[in-house]
Amino acid sequence: MENAPRENIKLSEKMGISTGYFACNIIYQTISTYLLFFYTNVFGLSPAVAATMFLVVRIIDAIANPVWGVMVDKMRAGKRGKYLQWLVYGAIPFAVLSILCFYSPSISASGKIIYAYVTYVGMSLAYIVVSLPTSSLPAAMTRNSDQITTLTSFSDFAANLAGLCVSFGVPLLVTKISGSYSGPDSQIGWFLTMALYSIIGCLCFFYSAKVIHERYVLSAEEKNTVKISDLFVEFKTNKALVILALIFVLSFGMMSIVNSTSSYYVTYNMNQPNMLKWFNLVGTLPSFILVPMFPLFKKWLGKRGLLISFFGIEIIGLAMIYFGDAHNTTFIIIAQIVKSCGMLVATGFIWALVPEVITYSEYVTGRRLNGVLTAVISFMLTFGMALGGVVPGYILSATGFSAKLAVQTPSALMGIKTLMCTIPAAIIIVTIILVIMYPLSDEKLAKITAEINARPKKGEN
């Protein structure tokens, strides 16, 4: 099968991609997994107020993401590269604002709401500055689908390592520092833990910018033609982009809902708050076996087969949690492992499809719009992950959840279980349908890539 040439991507560059994804995930996974719980059980906001704030911020993101994507593609490459320079410029603001999201000032109730809005909006905008270039880098490094799969396995391994630090490390560190991960007494633990993770993430961004080499970016002539309307053209001509964007918002929305609900499920349904770090740990550990096997899974099952199979495994795990006895710890832990094996592979592998839709766009338009197209995917990702605050916040409020109650009402417990299992399973079914509709087979992509490589070369900036 014809494919793009295999560029000499050094191990240091693969490590650079890994550290970039590690940086994004150790900070943003902490936010998407725990910020709703922090707001309701530590900071003192009601679930409905927190959910509304998550929704408002996503509306702001809907405007900021594509604008930033176009701006990045139109900018001149700096000495560190077109995308890499923004890892340096954005790292410190993103780290500082993330820390401030988990700070609890002694102010009035209305003052807390204003403070939460300002810090969360600021953090979200800073995240766009660093995450969009990070996601753009694989497509700027290579067109080769095998190389992309390798980079995806490196980046997903790092993202899951960050996930381990988040799932196991956060409740462990917060409890060690404060004696508990819930209630006003845990405020200093949340603040110091977030500070530690943000500093680590900031340093990782700096390393990525130092070692990665960009190979495929717009030429000086091409970048002057980039405009916002390109997004509408892409949605009209690039069916693969539309489907992948929907897959991203649904799959990461599902993941975020499950992850952010886990704290409530373990604390109230299982009634074992000390189990949270272990529950999260077994949900992350399988990644270190499964992620390096991405190339093999793809070879055995193909792209569609891989995604459908592992999404199916996740549904089985969710069904086990829903129908199982929440007080049967051993059974729930097994169910958590099954669910996580499916989720980790399926949500991890879809990143390998992003450079494909960028390559298809280049085939149709003649321009490699890394920033513009990654902005679409980045927005869908952040929108999906924000559903972990929006949907649980409103469901918890509607079913009568109260952080002041040590034992929740039956309706609140059912609301938590619905969030943990039923809603994610329904989302997965829709996602599987979209996967079946995804039009870029390996054969078609190889033919497209060969035609692009046969075209006359333009000067690259």
- Give me the mean pLDDT over the 230-242 stretch: 73
Query: Helices 294-323 and 145-164 meet at what angle, rounded to 10?
Result: 40
For residues 112 and 85, which has the higher predicted lDDT (pLDDT)?
Answer: 112
pLDDT at 387 over 80: no
The DSSP string of 149-162 is HHHHHHHHHHHHHH
Q: Which band of pLDDT confidence, cut at 50, 70 and 90, is reported for residue 461?
A: very low
Non-local CB neighbours of 309 within 8 Å, separated by 6+ positions:
301
Task: Using alpha carbons, select from 347, 333, 320 the residue that is nearest to residue 248.
Answer: 347
- Distance set, CA 129 to CA 90, 140, 361, 373, 435 (Å): 6, 17, 23, 15, 29
- What pLDDT, on a 0 to 100 scale, did the predictor assign at position 2? 40
Name the CA dihedral angle for 423, 406, 163, 85, rounded to a multiple of 10 degrees. 90
- What pLDDT, on a 0 to 100 scale, did the predictor assign at position 420? 94
Q: Report d(CA 354, CA 356) in Å as an integer.
A: 5
Task: Using alpha carbons, select from 388, 304, 315 the residue that is nearest to residue 352.
Answer: 304
- Give me the mean pLDDT over the 222-230 stretch: 55
Lowest mean pLDDT among 280-289, 341-350, 377-386: 377-386
Give pairs for 439-444: CB < 8 Å, separation 24+: 439/239, 439/240, 439/243, 440/240, 440/353, 440/356, 440/357, 440/360, 441/303, 442/1, 442/145, 442/302, 442/303, 443/1
pLDDT in tens, 258-286: 988 998 999 999 999 888 888 988 888 88
Q: Which band of pLDDT confidence, cut at 50, 70 and 90, is reported for residue 407?
A: confident
Lowest mean pLDDT among 57-66, 139-148, 263-272, 345-354: 139-148
- Give me the mean pLDDT over the 398-423 stretch: 90
Angle at 369 between CA 249 and CA 92, to 5 degrees: 70
- Give me the mean pLDDT over the 156-177 stretch: 88
Q: Round the average pLDDT of the chain to a whole number and report it.
A: 83
- Give me the mean pLDDT over the 302-311 stretch: 90
- What pLDDT, on a 0 to 100 scale, did the predictor assign at position 449? 78
The two three-digit tokens of residue 349, written as one number: 């592998």
Q: Which residues pair with 78 in a beta bridge?
A: 81
Q: Report d(CA 275, CA 264) in Å as an integer.
A: 12
- What pLDDT, on a 0 to 100 scale, did the predictor assign at position 288? 78
pLDDT winner (highest mean) among 108-122, 292-306, 375-389: 108-122
Give the three-class secondary structure for 78.
strand
- CB neighbours (10 Å) of residue 409? 13
The answer to whether the CB of 156 falls within 8 A of the CB of 290 is no
- What pLDDT, on a 0 to 100 scale, did the predictor assign at position 1? 33
Tokens 């500055």 -> residue: 129
- What pLDDT, on a 0 to 100 scale, did the predictor assign at position 23? 92
pLDDT at 364 over 80: no
The answer to whether the CB of 374 falls within 8 A of the CB of 69 is yes
Task: Using alpha carbons, select from 410, 437, 448, 134 the residue that is nearest to residue 303.
Answer: 437
The DSSP string of 140-196 is HH---HHHHHHHHHHHHHHHHHHHHIIIIIHHHHHHHHHS-SSSGGGHHHHHHHHHH
Q: Which band of pLDDT confidence, cut at 50, 70 and 90, is reported for residue 370?
A: low
Walk me through the domains of the chain, giving residue ranges and CATH numbers.
11-452 (1.20.1250.20)
Backbone φ, ψ for residue 82 (5° rounding): -70, -45
Lowest mean pLDDT among 2-6, 182-186, 195-199, 382-386: 2-6
The answer to whether the CB of 181 falls within 8 A of the CB of 175 is yes
Backbone φ, ψ for residue 105 (5° rounding): -70, 150
pLDDT at 334 over 60: yes
- Distance set, CA 134 to CA 66, 103, 205, 342 (Å): 15, 27, 9, 25
- Give me the mean pLDDT over the 130-147 stretch: 74
- What pLDDT, on a 0 to 100 scale, did the predictor assign at position 74? 67
- What pLDDT, on a 0 to 100 scale, did the predictor assign at position 369? 62
- Give me the mean pLDDT over the 339-344 stretch: 90
pLDDT at 228 over 80: no
- Give me the mean pLDDT over the 70-77 stretch: 68
pLDDT at 181 over 60: yes
pLDDT at 226 over 60: no
With b for 16 or more beta-carbon neighbours within 10 A and e for fewer, the 231-265 pattern comes to beebeeebebbbbbbbbbbbbbbbbbbbbbbbbbb
The two three-digit tokens of residue 366, written as one number: 């003649």
- Using a cut of 0.95, tell me whether the model's pTM lies above it: no
Amino acid, res. 309: S
- Distance set, CA 186 to CA 117, 175, 256, 262, 275 (Å): 21, 7, 23, 18, 17
pLDDT at 392 over 50: yes
Task: Using alpha carbons, select from 391, 352, 422, 430 the residue that is nearest to residue 58.
Answer: 391
Q: Report d(CA 419, CA 416) in Å as an integer.
A: 5
- Give me the mean pLDDT over the 387-414 stretch: 86
- Distance set, CA 56 to CA 50, 121, 154, 249, 383 (Å): 10, 9, 34, 17, 11
